Amino acid sequence: MRFHFSPKTPLLSLSSSSITSLCLRPFLPSAPKSHFYPSLACHVSTGGNLRMDSTSPDPSSSSSVSVDSVADGLKNQSLREHDISNNNNNMNNENKKNNGKLSLEDLNWDHSFVRELPGDPRNDSIPRQVFHACYTKVLPSAEVENPKLVAWSDSVADLLDLDPKEFGRPDFPLKFSGASPLAGAVPYAQCYGGHQFGTWAGQLGDGRAITLGEIMNSKLERWELQLKGAGKTPYSRFADGLAVLRSSIREFLCSEAMHFLGIPTTRALCLVTTGKFVTRDMFYDGNPKDEPGAVVCRVSQSFLRFGSYQIHASRGGEDLGIVRSLADYAIRHHFPHIENMSKSESLSFSTGDNDQSVVDLTSNKYAAWTVEIAERTASLVARWQGVGFTHGVLNTDNMSILGLTIDYGPFGFLDAFDPSYTPNVTDLPGRRYCFANQPDIGLWNIAQFASTLMTANLISDQEANYAMERYGTKFMDDYQAILSQKLGLQKYNKQLVNKLLSNLAVDKVDYTNFFRALSNIKADPSIPGDELLVPLKAVLLDMGKERKEAWTSWVQTYIQELVASGVSDEERKASMNSVNPKYVLRNYLCQSAIDAAEMGDLEEVRRLLKVMERPYDEQPGMEKYAHLPPAWAYRPGVCMLSCSS
């Protein structure tokens, strides 16, 4: 694969044939290629094209759930419920209690971001363009009344060395709704920009997320804490700075579900309700609805995004120096191996077939950094494809430089296999961010990022090309390895995979349940043809003769491959079940938990978290969480969502 990249010519005359071949383009509705590859303009265009849905609070609006019923329901949750010792049967945690575990007051804060990078001299939250600065110090300001803890993650507390007993403190919800300050925090909102749906949108920034600072744990890991939904900042533009319980439950649960699936992601420490209502326009009927407000405390080693760099490059002039400072900052704290890169390491790569030029990554740390970001992104997207995760809004402001899944908005896991699936109604016209396009979009976003660094003179066009090339190679390698593991095979068999994906799409087979059931196939070529589909009968539903024959033929080929691999059925089943989850956070499961929580019953959110913490285990008694979506799941707002939340 060879890309031509120059700041002067529009990028992405790129032929990403090797990626698109895996992207099931043949199954997609036709969308003009140019839609996916608009010209690269981040360093020349400053035109705003904001796509955020606005909110219009309307006091006269009717609401299906009254403020009082929810408030009462939430009030009834006694503090005893939040006592983590009642909830935590894990002996390890029991042993660790008070053994190196810290209270909120004892957390080890550091504030490297505000200390090392330029800040906004103003600290008000009036919406404005913030120039020459990476952040604005602002305090959480969401209105709060009797906030309640909805859910929490023991495993994230563990990352922070936080004593899980702290979740039971009466003032915990006040602190994590932002109503009462957390000792040691220095809150700020980050300035960033981004390409939204392929168009440069100018300054975006943390419009409703407020970072409290970074916590250094006993392993000297740095963890940034951020309250999402904590009120307005200078980056809120025309919106309210708030988040609703519905979207916060989705973000909280999916952050943790993805982590336990083994997919790099930002994490979530806790979710609290604010006790106040927030009005949102519903995309499906255009009516405003009052919903309970909420705040999620997100945790990540860093929330730096591609857009964190783009905004400064787009402004040019002295702000180009900020791109460099931000790159130095990221490398220093999050890519120390690159900082310490030894010249003696052999890191030279040929850039093309003719081999006229060689990229030496040891001579430019920014190039090595770009390549690593490209590879991490490729690896992340490959993992998404493996579990059927569709992000829904892969704008460059939602792309983490650490290769983490970030921003759980209108995401969705595939139920029936459909490469053109997008969970985001805003995306329906072009399906830019549909499941099958994610690998290409990852590359498009890397191209924007690389271009940003070129604009700041940190990398050459050759190095940018090389990073994109590495994206393609890494994606292919990881995707093929993941698909092979899912099939229980040591070697990637392209024909077998292509035929399988085609069959899955034709028959709209449930992606998760299919792979889980597949481990029941025995590597026995003597099984008669009419019995071959028996192990799959729960997942291959309502099939005519022709389709049965297509599947039988595929299973026959598959069995031949299994026999050739020589692995025992038991061993293969165990290894397949360790990569093919039984439980994924299907949108309808989220919705059930949301419906219950909005009525004041918080148990379903907590139960769902527990199930999603062990996605690869059978979990007897929890089988209903692996069921296909019921008919009601197809109502608008459940499997199809909007960005506005």
- Please report how close the Cβ of residue 232 comes to ligand ATP at its closest, in angstroms: 7
Binding status of residue 209 toward ligand ATP by CB under 6 A: yes
For residue 167, is it left (φ>0), alpha (ψ between -120 and 50) or beta?
alpha
Binding status of residue 294 toward ligand ATP by CB under 6 A: no
CA atoms within 13 A on the CB side of 378: 25
Catalytic residue among 163, 206, 397, 407: 397
Binding status of residue 393 toward ligand ATP by CB under 6 A: yes
**Which stretch, 104-112, 146-154, 205-213, 444-452, contacts ligand ATP (CB under 6 A)?**
205-213
Report the residue from 36, 172, 235, 306 that binds ligand ATP according to the rule CB under 6 A. 235
Comparing CB distances to ligand ATP, the nearer of 206 and 461 is: 206
Site for ligand ATP in 417-476 (CB under 6 A): none
For residue 403, is it left (φ>0), alpha (ψ between -120 and 50) or beta?
left
**Which stretch, 89-97, 112-120, 231-239, 516-524, contacts ligand ATP (CB under 6 A)?**
231-239
Phi, psi of 615 (to 5 degrees): -65, -20
- Please report how close the Cβ of residue 398 comes to Mg ion at its closest, in angstroms: 5
- Please report how close the Cβ of residue 266 comes to ligand ATP at its closest, in angstroms: 8
Comparing CB distances to ligand ATP, the nearer of 465 and 587 is: 587
Q: If contact means CB under 5 to 8 A according to the sort of partner, which of Mg ion, ligand ATP, none does residue 117 touch?
A: none
- Please report how close the Cβ of residue 433 comes to ligand ATP at its closest, in angstroms: 12
**Which stretch, 406-414, 492-500, 506-514, 544-552, contacts Mg ion (CB under 5 A)?**
406-414
Binding status of residue 193 toward ligand ATP by CB under 6 A: no
Comparing CB distances to ligand ATP, the nearer of 173 and 202 is: 202
- Please give the Cα distance from 134 to 136 (Å, whole number): 7
397 in active site: yes
- Report yes or no: 423 and 389 within 8 Å, Cβ to Cβ: no
Binding status of residue 242 toward ligand ATP by CB under 6 A: yes
Per-residue DSSP letters for 114-180? HHHS-B-S----------S-SEE--------SS-EEEEE-HHHHHHHTB-GGGGG-TTHHHHHTTSS
Binding status of residue 643 toward ligand ATP by CB under 6 A: yes
CA nearest neighbour of 428 among 194, 643, 204, 589: 643
Comparing CB distances to ligand ATP, the nearer of 214 and 469 is: 214
Q: If contact means CB under 5 to 8 A according to the sort of partner, which of ligand ATP, Mg ion, none does residue 282 touch?
A: none
**Which stretch, 1-9, 268-276, 392-400, 513-521, contacts ligand ATP (CB under 6 A)?**
392-400
Report the residue from 239, 320, 527, 567 that binds ligand ATP according to the rule CB under 6 A. 239
The residue ranges of DSSP E strands in 370-524, in sequence order, are 389-390, 412-413
3-state secondary structure of 571: helix
**Which stretch, 124-132, 206-214, 345-353, 359-367, contacts ligand ATP (CB under 6 A)?**
206-214
What number of H helices and E strands is found in the chain?
22, 14
End-to-end CA distance of the chain: 39
CA nearest neighbour of 380 among 266, 268, 478, 300: 478
Comparing CB distances to ligand ATP, the nearer of 104 and 590 is: 590
Binding status of residue 398 toward Mg ion by CB under 5 A: yes
- Please give the Cα distance from 272 to 76 (Å, whole number): 15
**Which stretch, 27-35, 42-50, 398-406, 611-619, contacts Mg ion (CB under 5 A)?**
398-406
Comparing CB distances to Mg ion, the nearer of 120 and 407 is: 407
Site for ligand ATP in 29-58 (CB under 6 A): 52
- Please give the Cα distance from 352 to 331 (Å, whole number): 27
For residue 313, give every residue at least 6 positions away whose Cβ sits within 8 Å of its Cβ, in sequence order, or none. 42, 43, 319, 320, 323, 452, 453, 455, 456
- Please report how close the Cβ of residue 81 comes to ligand ATP at its closest, in angstroms: 28
Token digits of residue 370: 């770009």
Binding status of residue 589 toward ligand ATP by CB under 6 A: no
Residue with structure tokens 């307005």? 232
- Please report how close the Cβ of residue 614 comes to Mg ion at its closest, in angstroms: 29
Report the residue from 163, 251, 291, 407 that binds Mg ion according to the rule CB under 5 A. 407
Q: Length of the chain in residues, anyone?
A: 645
Answer positive or negative: Cα dihedral of 619, 621, 625, 626. positive
Report the residue from 161, 206, 415, 469 that binds ligand ATP according to the rule CB under 6 A. 206
Residue with structure tokens 């009419």? 530
Per-residue DSSP letters for 378-390? HHHHHHHHHHTEE
- Please give the Cα distance from 3 to 548 (Å, whole number): 43
Binding site for Mg ion (CB under 5 A): 398, 407
Binding site for ligand ATP (CB under 6 A): 52, 204-209, 235-236, 239-242, 393, 397-398, 407, 409, 643
- Which residues are identified as catalytic? 397
